[in-house]
Chains A and B, each alone.
Chain A
Amino acid sequence: MSALDGLGVVIFVGLAAYAVLGGADFGAGLWDLSRDRAQRDLVARAMAPVWEANHVWLIFVVITLFTGFPGAFGVLSRALVGPVSIALLGIVLRGAAFVFRQYGASPDPDAPVGAGRPVRGTALWGRVFAISSLLTPFAFGAAAGALAGGNLRADGSAGLWRPYLAPLPVLAGLLAVTCCAYLAAVYLSRDAERIGSPALVSRFRRRALGTGMLAGGLALAALPLLPPALGGELRGVGLPAVLVSATGGVLGLVLLWRRRHALARVAAASAPAGLLAGWALGMHPWVLPGQVLLADSAAPPAIAGPVLVVLLTGLLIIAPCYVFMLRVLRAHPD
């Protein structure tokens, strides 16, 4: 395996981490659209400590992509201007609105979140947070769908929006949003269990079951829309990924049904991760199917090698830090 293959694997790992960790933070935004104060507070408590670290995975993927495959980064930057702009808008508004809502709500720094008279406009930022959370996963999903469908051109000449107004990109966008909502509901049902709120547990469990089935249905509906070459890859080299995704999806639902919320999280996360792996294996070795090869766009080996070493060392350092943070901060009754 060359350094470039290694970089490709690292990019995929970052993407999968962003999808299952960062994705749940976006999905939590959907569940924030609720009149119930307890539910919104649980969303805020679960998300507040982790969303920024989870967000760094996206920055990590972007950076590793332009370092390891600068040509691919240039091509994707030209071809994906439309959805990437929407995703950025969502990222900026979601992140800013979340902290504004959180810190604008309480005049006394030591009061719990939500106490006291808020800064003017805080309620509006709460809505902005919820709605912008849906923009980003939809835009990224649509981008992945358009890439898989072969709708794009390397010079961006396919148009800013036109490539995405097709069944596959729209379906992929909806699938991404549903996966995020599903992951968030699964994780939140476990968090609700931990803080000892049976009402919230059963509410999020129901929502997880609903969105999980919807996500599975959307994934199945997308299959016949895939171009034949990609479909062939999924029956061949991508088959294990498809199986992981399908098994994880079904197992997640079964575990939720049986109220095994802690285990359900792992199974639930493997469903979108497998889906993403199937997409990546199906796309390989292309950046744009039939037009641009990943290998043609790569960094010189003199750079790929050292960068891979730095990446692996860095990941070895941050992984235990991240786990330590989760262990210290995970929600528990006050």
Chain B
Amino acid sequence: MIDDLTAAREQMELSLSFHIVFAVLGVGMPWLMLAAEWRGLRTGDARWTALAKRWSKAVAVLFAVGAVSGTVLSIEFGVLWPAFMARFGSAIGLSFTLESFAFFIEAIFLALYLYGWKRLSPRVHLLTAVPVAVGGMASALFVTTANAWMNGPVGLVAGPGGGLVATDALGPFRAPTAGAQMVHMGLAALMCTGLAVAAVYAFAMLRDPARRDGYHRRGLAAGAVLGLVSAPLQVLVGDWATRVVADVQPAKFAAMESLPRTMDGAPFHAGPFEIPNALSLLLHFDPNARVVGMDAIAAPDRPPVSVVHWSFQIMAGIGTALVALAAWALWLHLRHRRGRRHGRNVPHPTARRGFLLAMVVAGPAPFVALLAGWVVTEVGRQPWIVYRVMRVPEALTTQTGLASYLYVTAVVYLVLAVALVAILRRIARGATPPDPAPMAAARDEVPA
């Protein structure tokens, strides 16, 4: 049996990982659904409308799983870390209060969207998707501010009992990492969704060339545009987030960069390579600038280095690879478009097996990066639950036997994940609308 602290940590990690993977899809999918329905309405192309309908089923299932797994988290905070919640529940309260309203809005309008296809006019129906998309994104961003507060607590003053008391309701929004974390999380949700959706259609086209039709191309294009446009933006935001961490949480930064000693002219690690002076240059725009290393952190306050370092490398590596994929996709698309304009026969990007294969591989990649990023921010904060204010063991419940909770949670989530994937595959199957007849198709092929 593992000890209670480890069990509680693992349980938190398991529930958060499960929730985040399905929740990002619940956050991103409504935007795709909205875009597809809008294009269907504007162009009269039945294939876009069919995609919107198909995606709305996936959103319904993902939203339900996201809602119940999110409930587990909000109650688990108390069951596992009652001392943390008793002291700082009100400090992060506004984040969650706003999140609950965003969630209400999302649930109410998602019901209207899902069950209102025949009861609302097409225009009103389309409009109901807007609060779903905005509410979903807002709820994710609000919750992220609570995590930002744990990374950089603000608004605390010494209370009458000697302990620190939260006095600023807006504390989570004023936390130094809040801005970078929110944008980073929001883009991550869009990237994961876009590339996961694109991978589904790329896989179908790869397996069955007959499926390289307008419906599947549109599905792939919508996902690829969302995911691949987010990728380069995400690299820039990641750079911003890293600078904020270097300023606010030097211990986390030293672990990310695996910097044992404070030094002038620090090298930059990229996988197995080490580039001299590059870290100083990147961080301070001066190759000889001083970068704080782990030796500046008191031994009991140091996070585990190798987990954080390698997770960071994995995340950054995947991000870079996806930017390369975005560049390739853009090049293929532009070449195809130019070729068609000049009457040359340049194949559509989806006619290339290599490109389809790359899109299939790129489906799970941002999820790996997402989880790695969470490992960086959560493990990099250790040993603190609230940075420099409360250590994780101080927050732990006095309840024992937490390992059995962990095992039950693991079994339940495993069963749910298997069933969920089976249902999503079932939703993806089924008849798809054919391409229009040749004459209409010719008009359809005019570049947009």
A150 within 8 A of B: no
Chain B positions 178-219 with a Cβ under 8 Å from a chain A Cβ:
none
Q: Is the Cβ of A67 less than 8 Å from the Cβ of B96?
A: yes
Distance to closest chain B CB from A113 (angstroms): 11
Contacts between the two chains (Cβ within 8 Å), count:
235
A290-304 CB contacts (< 8 Å) to partner B: 297, 299-300, 302-304
Cβ-defined contact, B75 with A74, below 8 A:
no
State whether the Cβ of A325 lies closer than 8 Å to any Cβ in chain B: yes
Q: By the criterion CB–CB under 8 Å, are B78 and A77 in contact?
A: yes
Query: Is A119 a contact partner of B75 (Cβ separation < 8 A)?
Result: no
Q: How many angstroms between the C-alpha atoms of A328 and B63 in the bound complex?
A: 21
Which residue of the partner chain, among A64, A77, A89, A310, contacts B85 with CB atoms under 8 Å? A77
Query: Is A1 interfacial (CB 8 A cutoff)?
Result: no
B102-110, B281-289, B358-366 - interface stretch: B102-110
Closest chain-A Cβ to B164's Cβ sits at a distance in Å of 11
**Residue contact B86 to A74, C-beta cutoff 8 Å:** yes
- A126: interface (CB < 8 Å): no
Q: How far is the CA of A74 from the CA of B405 in the complex (A)?
A: 19
Do B75 and A84 touch (CB < 8 A)? yes
Binds A, one of B53-61, B240-248, B331-339, B378-386: B53-61
A329 touches B116 (CB 8 A): yes
Name the one of B63, B78, B107, B420 contacting A74, with C-beta atoms under 8 angstroms. B78
| In the complex, chain A residues whose CB is within 8 Å of the CB of B77 | 66
In the complex, the answer to whether B412 meets A299 with C-beta atoms within 8 Å is no
**Does A59 sit at the interface, judged by CB under 8 A?**
yes
Cα–Cα distance between A63 and B90 once the two chains are bound (Å) = 9
Residues of B within 8 A of A94 (CB): 68
Nearest CB on A from B238, distance (A): 30
Min CB distance, A127 to chain B, in Å?
14
| A244 lies within 8 A of chain B by Cβ | no
Given A74-B85, A77-B397, A119-B426: A99 touches B65 (CB 8 Å cut-off): yes
Query: Interface range on chain A: under 10, 10 to 19, 20 to 34, or 35 or more?
Result: 35 or more
A33-41, A177-185, A225-233, A313-321 - interface stretch: A313-321
What 0/1 pattern do residues 152 to 167 of B give for CB contact below 8 A with A?
Answer: 0000000000000111
Stretch at the interface among A23-31, A100-108, A201-209: A100-108
A residues in contact with B398, CB < 8 Å: 78, 155-156
State which size class the interface on B falls in. Answer: 35 or more
Candidates B71, B94, B101, B112; contact of A88 at CB < 8 Å: B71
> For the complex, would chain B's binding face be called helix, strand, loop or mixed by DSSP majority?
helix
- Quick one: which of B60, B67, B88, B422 has the most chain A CB within 10 A? B67
Query: Smallest distance from the beta carbon of B121 to chain A beta carbons, Å?
Result: 11
Q: Within 8 Å CB of A325, what residues of B?
A: 108-109, 111-112
Q: B430 contacts A109, CB within 8 Å?
A: yes
Taking the complex as formed, is A283 at the interface, i.e. its CB lies under 8 A from any CB of chain B?
no
Complex CA gap A92/B415 in Å reads: 11
Contacts of A304 in B (CB 8 A): 90
> Is A195 engaged at the interface, CB distance under 8 Å to the other chain?
no
A5 at the interface (CB under 8 A from B): no
* Closest chain A CB from B367 CB (angstroms): 20
Interface string of A303-334 (1 = CB under 8 A from B): 11111001100100110011011001100000
Known contacts A55-B71, A103-B60; is-contact A307 B86 (Cβ 8 Å) = no
B345 within 8 A of A: no
A302 touches B101 (CB 8 A): no
Interface flag for A168 (CB, 8 Å): no
Pairs A–B under 8 Å by Cβ, sample size 18: A52-B110, A53-B104, A53-B108, A55-B107, A60-B104, A63-B74, A68-B93, A74-B83, A74-B85, A77-B75, A95-B67, A100-B420, A103-B427, A109-B430, A155-B398, A300-B90, A303-B90, A303-B166
Chain B: residues with CB nearer than 8 A to chain A?
Answer: 53-54, 57, 60-61, 63-65, 67-72, 74-75, 77-79, 82-83, 85-91, 93-94, 96-101, 103-105, 107-112, 114-116, 119-120, 165-170, 397-399, 405, 408, 412, 416, 419-420, 422-423, 426-427, 429-431
